Structures are given as structure tokens and as C-alpha cells.
Chain A
Amino acid sequence: MAAAQTEQTAVSRCTLCPAACQLQLAGAGPDAWRAEYPSQGSAGLCPRGSAVCELLSSHLRISTAMRRRGPRLAEVSIASVLREIVSRASGGLTVLLDGNMPCEQLASAAAWCNAWPQARLCIAVEPADKQMLTGIDSSGAEYLPASRLADCDGFVVIGDAFAANPMCSRGVLDRRAGEPRTPIVVIDPAAGTASKFATHNVAVGAGMELAALAAVAASAGVDGGPLARQTAGEMSSAEAAGKAIAGCKRLAVLIAAEYGRAAPWQQIGYLAGLLAKGKGGGAAAQTVGANALAAVRTAAATGAISLAEALSDGTKPRLAVGCDVAGMLGREDIEIFAAAAPLPNETTDAAEIILPLAMNEELSGTIMADGDRPVRVSPLMSPPVGVVSPASLIAALVKQAGVSQARPVKEGAPLPRLQAGPPAPATVWKDPSGPLVLLGRQAANSGCGAVTGCASWQQALNQTPELRVSSDVAEAHKLKNLGLANLKVAGSSLSFRIRIAPELGSGIMVMPEGLPQVRKLLPSRIDAATGTITCEPVCVPQGLFGG
């Protein structure tokens, strides 16, 4: 390899998960970039971080504004597009802003939307993450950074936290290497990576995570309040797990709020926070994106509307800035008038107008990574010519409407914790009889794969997505290990490579979460009354597999 190709040019942070790993960029040919890795030690960079560097120079980058004319896209000027959006916004405009942006971008966008009466801002994060963070914030638990996990003497892992943030595994494994008897309790119906390292795997069905956690907390001697008392299930494995962590003096609760599980994540987050507090430790939320906590707190502080509200009102045109709302929710029926994004995604595919947007790695600002620790990020490089930041795009739009000055909602105040109070007991999801298909994390992709899904390694890896099936499902459906099968759910079908997974509980199938085409198989439901978006596992009766 030529020396010029390995020259390191810039250092910044990855913003795809709370680890916020350091990124180094190296040349990979003319106008092409790739990730470089520290030459000494193993600092760690997961496949998502590696992908980001390639995507900065991706041939898929959206670099100009485009207007859909029939089946074709025609190049148009950004000024004309902004004029068109403003003219359509006379009755109001819903701005869906991706929450995984630096805090300064979120605050500036909120200030500009606040100054324009027509605009309603929605700061979008993964629905399960929002609920979980609301619950943890309300519990008053401390947020544990990954660097302090090795100091903990016990771990409760909910969901596949190791796949959500591979870096968080290091602290857990460091502790276990030094103290092999450290209890690691895992509650994950999809039996993800973390469950392979568990000392206590809590046998739990889909949607039953809260009941299992309440039983663990009760057995560990932590008072979870009325919420825990009303939801605790009788599970022998949970009781044994609770006894194992009963003596912990510093317990870490790692939570990955898994999408598509029908689990009440606000209640789980709250109870996890109480459990961590009760055992002298803290919670480590493994969110999609590094800045989800700041996004949730900013949305509350600025009075931004919820995603459910934004999607329920179909009368106002929608402008999506950076967020792939259609891919995230697995829905094709969401009407988007204009979408700004750095790379093509399900939302830009559905939009009439497409605008270019800077990637996070081209922006500077502050993110609240790794718990609630502010981290300053610097850009790896400048965005391409004519490509602007999300806040600049919204500012230009509002200025086009005749507003000359932004109106900040709160000047310079630190983002306060959410004080939602103890959540009401959740309705227990009724597990339909029959094999269930649910979503599981993949370390390769972040969220719905809106960004990382465009990277070449991820595309190769997921050419044929893997469907993990339990042994009994494989037998019932006559599925062969490593064979191909089409799964037909909700009017959609997708081809999978079958893998018979002995670690899965009876009647469970798990699809990779980070693929929009997979999320379409489990479309979400919007409940405007409660302001929630839920996605449930789907029952797969006989006959839904084709060869």
C-alpha cells in the first residue's frame, strides 16, 4: 500500500453510539477515505465507526437538491426548493430533526423553528430509546460511563448491550477477567451476544422484560415501588439472578432498548435506574446515536412535539432533516414532502424534494456521550461544496419565510434531567400463541441502518440477512441450517439465510434490526393519544416460509 494512502489527516469522534470512539481518517485513493486505527494497543473501533469514514467520500452522497418529476429526479437549486417549501407551509410545517446531532445544532434548529410560527419542531430519536431515557432520568439514577464499568462488582444487562455498543463490553470483561465470579445477569429474549457471557440468563419471553426485571429487583432486595410489585413475574431464573446480585455494592445496569419487542421501555428504564441506585451503582444506556440523551432533554426543554404527534397530523407537510423516519418505523405510508439527508434512505426515497445535508463527522459541537458526559467533537473534514449543516438549512428556510432572527427557547441553560415521575404500570403485551419473529441488534449497523447501511462492508455482510431460529421452529417449519428461506410477514417478504440457534428460547426467531427492509416486516403503530410508538413481535404461523 502506498505511503500516501496511510497518511492520517484528521481525528474526531464517531457519533453512532454512546462510546463516541476516536476516528482517524486516511486516504484510500483519489478523493476516497477510509478509517485508520491507532498503531499501538487496541483502542477499538466497531464496524459502524469504520463505515463512517468510507461514507464521507461515498459515491452515494447526496450533493445537490433534487425534485421528483414523475419517476425521475431533476436537479434544482436549493433556493427554489426553499421557496417551494415555504409556499407549502402556509398552513404549518412539521420539521422532523434527527436527534443525533451536536447539541448546538439542536439548540439552533429549535431557536429558528421557535421564531417561525408556522414551524413545529420534532426532535426524533428511536422511540424505544426515548422511552428508556425518560425512565432512567425520572429514576434519578447516575449514568455510568464505560470507563467506570470495570469498577462495578455486578452487572445486569437488558437487551443486547454488547451489540448496541461493543465498547461497553470491555469494562464488563475486564472485571470478569479479574474477578471470574462477578455476576452478569442478562435479560434478553433474543439471546444476543451479551447472553453468551452471562452467569445468569433470565429465561424470558418477548415483551416480558419488565416482569423479569421486577422479579430480579425483588429477589435482590431492592424496593422497586408499586411498579415492580404489580409487574413482577414468578420466574425461578430471575429469582436466582436476583440473589446473585443481592450482595453487590456497585451494580451496573446496561440497557439497550430493543426496538420491536413490545416492551414498556419507560417502565424498564425507571426500574433499572432504581435497581442501580439501590445497589450503589448506575445505569449505562446504550442508545442509537451518541447524543440521544441530549436530544430527549432538548425536546423536553424546548417544547418540541413528539414523533407520534408529528406523524399523526397529516394535514401539514413534513420536512425531515437528517432523520430516516420511514426506515426507523418500517413504514411506507408516511408522507414526507421534503427530506434532507447526507445519504439516500427510505425517507428520501419517499420524499418529493431531496436536499443535501452534512454528515455528523463534518460538524463541530458538543455531544453528551457515554452517559451524560459532554464531549467536544471537531469535524473530520468540511462538507462538500453547497452542503450545509442541519441548523443552517433550517435557518435558511426560516429566513426565506421572512424571519430574520432566531428566538432561543432557553439561553445557555444546561439541559435539566427529565422529571416525569414514576411511570404507570404497563399493560402486559399478550404474547400470541405460535412462533414469534422479533428484531435483534447487529454490531454492524446503527439504528435502522440509515447511514451505515450505505457502506460497502455492511452491504456485503447483509446481502442475505441472517434469520436466527430456535430448534423447535426450525423443526416445525422444516428449515435447514444455512439454507435460504423467504419469510412473509405483513404483506412483505424477504429472503434470509437460516441459522438454527440453540441459544434461543422456544418459538423465537430473530432478524437483524439495522436493515430498513427488515423493519418493514414489523411495521410500528402510532398511538397519538398516549404519544407513543410501539412495534411488536409478529406471530409467524405455518406456511409463511417459502423456499
Chain B
Amino acid sequence: MDTSASNQTMEQRVLIDLDRCIECRSCAAACYYSHANMPAVNFARAGWALLPVICRQCKAASCVEACPAEAMVRDENGVVRRRLLRCIGCGSCARACPFGVLPDQLGGTPTASRSPQRMTGHQVAKCDLCADRTVDGGDVVPRCVAACPAGALSFADEHRAEQLKLTVLGGRATGENPYKRR
């Protein structure tokens, strides 16, 4: 992988239909089991709703700017991702994230420290849009989208979100009443 920063940005995002999420956490489980037991899907609660939040792949990614170890980079495909071996677990990216979707606990969740694949137990879990399978494009979707039983998640061009009446997952998670079903 080319580790130098890239100006290219990924246009496709994980979108959520707020009218369909049944809070089953299938997305989180799929992420956990396929990312060395470090789930990048977190949850935000607002009133009745418990909704998944993941990195929304900002065009001007504060986490990349803030990382002192160059662990957070935008790769050649435009995906903002964390380089496992460079992450020193300082938490700068989590604090810099304007949407609060990176875990504020080092190690992501308590599970990370128990993961047999862990390197230091201090890495920050970060969504890479399942780059191992989506990098070639086509109709391939990240695992959280594939696992969603209710059909609430989709993987599409973010510019179509409004047209599809969907919300970019991770965006406006604590904003002005995006929970239209309630």
C-alpha cells in the first residue's frame, strides 16, 4: 500500500435509513469479527433510538491532521484508514474527530484489549470501509452493509443520500433530530 497521503477521496459512503434500523447491532458484530476483534462501529443513543455511527470519511479529515505518528492516512483509494503498526494509541484522532465517531477509549472498546490479534492493545479502531474487498469497486459492499438484516444500511455515493432520503452514517449523529421515525 502506498502510505503517502493522497488527495483522492472516496465518493461512496455507508448510508443509513433511519426508518429501518432495528438496533440489532449486526453491523457491529460483522465489523468486530472481520477486523481482528476491533469494531469500528459504535452506537449513539438519542431518546428511544440507538443508532450505529462509524467514520464518515471526511474530505478534510481532522484525524489525519492530528495524528502525530502518521498512522492515520488517506490511502491511494481515498479511504481514511489507520495503519496498525504505526498507531501509538495517543487518542489524538479521537479527540480531533468533529463527529465523535472514533472511540474515545484507547483500544476502541474493552474487547480490543482481549483480542488475540492485538499488537499493543492501545490502537484506535477505525473504519476502512472494508478496503480488503471494496477496493476493486463494483457492487461490493462493506460487511456492515452486507450483514444488516433490516436493510437499513446501504453503500452508495454520498451525493445521492439526499435523493435516496438516507443519511450518511456517522453524520449528524447528535444533530438536530435526524431520527425521523420517532
Enumerate A11-48 residues with CB–CB distance to B below 8 Å.
19, 21, 26, 28-29, 34-47
Number of interface residues of A (CB under 8 A): 48
Closest chain A residue, CB of each to CB of B143? A37
Q: Is the interface of B mostly helix, strand, loop or mixed?
A: loop
In the complex, the answer to whether B30 meets A166 with C-beta atoms within 8 Å is: no
Q: Which residues of B contact A (CB under 8 A)?
A: 19-20, 22-26, 28-30, 32-34, 37, 39, 47-49, 109-111, 114, 116-117, 132-133, 138-141, 143, 145-151, 153-154, 181-182
In the complex, the answer to whether B29 meets A47 with C-beta atoms within 8 Å is: yes
Question: Shortest beta-carbon distance, A482 to chain B, in Å?
Answer: 9
Closest chain B residue, CB of each to CB of A460? B111
In the complex, the answer to whether A166 meets B182 with C-beta atoms within 8 Å is: no
Question: Shortest beta-carbon distance, A483 to chain B, in Å?
Answer: 15
Residues in B with CB closer than 8 Å to A259 are none
Q: What is the bound-complex CA distance between A194 and B19, given in angstroms?
A: 12
Q: What is the bound-complex CA distance between A502 and B48, given in angstroms?
A: 7
Give 14 CB contacts A-B under 8 Å.
A34-B34, A37-B147, A42-B154, A44-B147, A46-B24, A50-B32, A163-B24, A166-B149, A173-B150, A193-B24, A197-B22, A456-B37, A460-B110, A463-B110
Closest chain A residue, CB of each to CB of B47? A502
In the complex, the answer to whether A42 meets B29 with C-beta atoms within 8 Å is: no
In the complex, the answer to whether A162 meets B22 with C-beta atoms within 8 Å is: yes
Residues in B with CB closer than 8 Å to A45 are 26, 30, 146-147, 149
In the complex, the answer to whether B139 meets A40 with C-beta atoms within 8 Å is: yes
8 Å CB contact of B25 from A37, A44, A47: A47
Q: What is the bound-complex CA distance between A170 and B19, given in angstroms?
A: 11
Q: What is the bound-complex CA distance between A176 and B17, given in angstroms?
A: 13
Residues in A with CB closer than 8 Å to B114 are 456, 460
Given A47-B29, A457-B111: A193 and B22 interface contact (C-beta under 8 Å): yes
Residues in B with CB closer than 8 Å to A176 are 19
Q: Which has the most chain A C-beta neighbours within 10 Å: B32, B110, B133, B147?
A: B147
Per-residue B-contact encoding for A152-177, CB less than 8 Å = 1, 0 else: 00000000001100110110011011
Q: What is the bound-complex CA distance between A41 and B146, given in angstroms?
A: 6
Question: Shortest beta-carbon distance, B94 to chain A, in Å?
Answer: 19
Does A239 sit at the interface, judged by CB under 8 A? no
In the complex, the answer to whether A169 meets B22 with C-beta atoms within 8 Å is: yes
Given A38-B146, A173-B151: A44 and B26 interface contact (C-beta under 8 Å): yes
Closest chain B residue, CB of each to CB of A24? B146
Question: Shortest beta-carbon distance, B111 to chain A, in Å?
Answer: 4
